[in-house]
Amino acid sequence: MRRRPRRAYLDSMVFIFGRLEECNSRLVLFLAQLGEFEVVTSELVVEEVERFFRENFSREAGYLARRFVEALSFRIVERDEFKEEMDAFEGKIKAKDLENVAAVKHENLEYLVAYDQDYRETGIQEYITPKEFVKLFELKPYEMEY
């Protein structure tokens, strides 16, 4: 049985959906803001979230999104910290998922919160959907997985 974590890695989609829709990703962000667990992210996540809001809304939205991720994160893993893990997993998982998985392995985290079937298909044990993650805290999730 999976247990409530002390810290977890959040994929970009959690920040993006969490801000834009009433969904389980939003509940994940609220749990983090309440201090129920510590957020770990990576440079990739910070960059992707900023870029998403900058390109789809405004430059100011991009800046605020970046600051939100930075303020919420206990730890932002830098690329040069997980080179070994990147090498170990290169070719075994899709390139788009490589940095997230390498950061999770480097930090020895139990959970990678995301909604992407590719993680499941490639057998990433740490993968958990926002819906399943919310259940660990005994909250009633929304119907959707994200």
The verdict on 77 binding other proteins (CB under 8 A) reads no
- Find the shortest distance in angstroms from Cβ 61 to other proteins: 5
65 vs 128, which CB is nearer to other proteins? 65
Residue 62: CB partners within 8 Å, gap ≥ 6? 50, 51, 52, 53, 54, 55
**Based on the number of CB atoms within 10 Å of its own CB, is 3 exposed (0-12), middle (13-18) or buried (19 or more)?**
exposed
Please give the size of the binding site for other proteins, defined by CB under 8 A.
Answer: 36
- The tokens describing 28, both together, are 């994940």
Q: What's the rounded Cα separation, in Å, for the pair 122 and 16?
A: 24
Give the closest residue to 116 by CA, choosing from 4, 24, 14, 38. Answer: 14
The verdict on 72 binding other proteins (CB under 8 A) reads yes
The verdict on 112 binding other proteins (CB under 8 A) reads no
Give the one residue of 8, 10, 14, 16 binding other proteins; rule: CB under 8 A.
16
User: Largest alpha-carbon pair distance within the chain?
Assistant: 43
**Based on the number of CB atoms within 10 Å of its own CB, is 19 exposed (0-12), middle (13-18) or buried (19 or more)?**
middle
- Find the shortest distance in angstroms from Cβ 120 to other proteins: 16
The verdict on 43 binding other proteins (CB under 8 A) reads yes
The verdict on 47 binding other proteins (CB under 8 A) reads yes
- Find the shortest distance in angstroms from Cβ 73 to other proteins: 9
The verdict on 17 binding other proteins (CB under 8 A) reads yes
| Rounded to 5°, angle at Cα 73 from 38 and 81 | 100
Which chain residues interact with other proteins by CB under 8 A? 7, 12-13, 16-17, 19-21, 29, 32-33, 43-44, 46-48, 51-53, 55-58, 60-61, 64-65, 67-68, 70-72, 74-75, 78, 96
